[in-house]
Amino acid sequence: MQAITRMKLVALAAALAAAMPAAAQQVTFMTGPQGGSWIPLGGALKNLWEKAIPGLKIQETPGAGIANVRGVDEGKAQIGFANSSTTADGVAGRAPYPRKTTRVCQVANLYPQYFQVAALADAHINSYADLKGKTLVTQPRGNTAEILTATILKLNGLSYQSLAKANFQASYTDAVSLMKDGHAQVMTLGTTAPASAIMDLASARDISIVPVDDKTMKQLRQENPGYQELTIKAGTYPNQKSDVHVIGYSTHIVAACDLPEETVYRMTKEMATHVDTMSAVVKPIAGLTPKMMAADIGVPFHKGALRYYKEVGAL
């Protein structure tokens, strides 16, 4: 009789526990700058995660790739979007970070970003080495694409001083205007392909996309495993008759390494099983698989993400 009573008490306790609301968990999610794709994608993920994880409350705040990594490392946020290449720089303690990031873990790769070097056809720029003496326009100093521009120049024995002039523009629109007017001969940017800015330029001027050479790609990968070689397929841009190999990196999700394992496990699982929800906001996410999400970019995995990838055989 006592055993039956104890069983009833255990069952009652379990029922009460299940009925109680989950403990609230408040996290800050750093997304991107106004006008970019990271803010709407962040909103879609917030809705997805809060619906699936009882008690989870997410506060979104604007950010940018490098700022987000620093924000998570410094405890100002627990989740953030980032670029694989510059996150790997943080793990290694390379500029623009003042020190190694030790509290930032990899959750999931989401979609590729293409480093695109678009040149006016009459500038005859067929390789990175041909940038010498040319007028270039890129993003402001410290931007992911600007850092990569300086790096490819260095790997080819050049620098900004080797150019006729280097312009640093916050707006793609302003950069395209310089190119259309002939005040710049080549522009660099890191974004999806096709890039609307390059399509705009190609509507007014004959252009070419400058390919990355094997030597530069190899050296870059040795320095930073967050970079990878990607292909811009023939026909992506007007008059592009063949595939072009370019430098790429991934937009990915990072999380504080001490964020609870179960929370990150559920977040990772929700992304993997709702790719359509994310691709409705950012088209290049379509076709994303757990194996692609788990590709090694040189950033340590969060325990929760690692658990999911092993569970589904992605690692």
Q: What is the assigned CATH class of domain 25-111+250-311?
A: alpha beta
Q: Would you say the CATH fold of 113-249 matches that of 25-111+250-311?
A: yes
Q: Compute the distance between CA of residue 33 and CA of residue 143 in angstroms, rounded to an integer.
A: 12
**Predicted pLDDT at 74:** 96
Which tokens sit at 100?
């190694």
Instruction: For 157-173, give one letter per residue: b (16+ CB within 10 A) or e.
Output: ebebeebeebebbeebe
For the stretch 201-214, pLDDT in tens is 999 999 999 999 99
Question: What residues form DSSP beta bridges with 104?
Answer: 256
Q: Compute the distance between CA of residue 182 and CA of residue 66 in angstroms, rounded to an integer.
A: 32
Q: Compute the distance between CA of residue 314 and CA of residue 293 in angstroms, rounded to an integer.
A: 9
> 247 exposed, middle or buried (CB, 10 Å; 0-12, 13-18, 19+)?
buried
Contact in structure between 110 and 253 (CB atoms under 8 Å):
yes
**Domain edges within the chain:** 25-111+250-311, 113-249
**Extended strands (E) in the chain:** 25-30, 56-61, 79-83, 104-120, 135-138, 165-168, 186-191, 207-209, 228-232, 244-256
The CATH fold of domain 113-249: D-Maltodextrin-Binding Protein; domain 2 (3.40.190)
Q: Compute the distance between CA of residue 260 and CA of residue 20 in angstroms, rounded to an integer.
A: 20
For the stretch 293-311, pLDDT in tens is 999 888 999 999 999 999 9
DSSP code, position 93: T
Which tokens sit at 14?
């379990």
CA atoms within 13 A on the CB side of 243: 5
Helix/strand/coil for 64: coil
Q: Which stretches of the chain drop beneath a pLDDT of 50?
A: 1-4, 10, 12-22
Note the residue count of the chain.
Answer: 315
Q: Compute the distance between CA of residue 143 and CA of residue 59 in angstroms, rounded to an integer.
A: 25
Q: What is the pTM of this model?
A: 0.74
**Predicted pLDDT at 177:** 94
The beta-carbon contacts of 179-184 under 8 Å, at least 24 apart in sequence, are 179/118, 179/120, 179/137, 179/205, 180/204, 180/205, 182/120, 183/135, 184/135, 184/136, 184/137
